[in-house]
Amino acid sequence: MTGGARDRTVAGRLLPWAGDDGRPCYLVGDGTGYVSRLADEIEDVQIDMADRLLGHAAELLAERRVTGEELHYLARRLSESLRDVARVAESRGARLARRARP
């Protein structure tokens, strides 16, 4: 399910990927189905990749000789990873807020 503000009010979960048009995808359901499990797995992969990328960044930045191209590539990957992890945080935060309501 993809969409804007209307979908956000109806949807149950922000998924860890965007639609073809770059808009967020939402899932309506109880969170126990195949797509929910797939989203959980993808979130875990995205978080693991971010952790590994941070380690790589630390190693690369400790080097004395790093080219501008290498730094540009690193910055692009860090930006992509930050976007993914921010989406995971938004999704998980929204689900926690829904559970906390009386």
pLDDT tens digit string along 28-74? 888 889 999 999 999 999 999 999 999 999 999 998 899 999 999 99
Judged by average pLDDT, the poorest of 2-11, 15-24, 39-48 is 2-11
> At CB < 8 A and 24+ separation, what contacts does 93-101 make?
94/13, 94/14, 95/13, 95/31
Beta-carbon count within 10 A of 41 CB = 11
Burial of 59 (0-12, 13-18, 19+ CB in 10 A): exposed
Q: What is the pLDDT of residues 69-90, one digit of tens each?
A: 999 999 999 999 999 999 999 9
Per-residue tokens: 31 = 């969170």
101, pLDDT greater than 90: no
**Three-state secondary structure call for residue 2:** strand
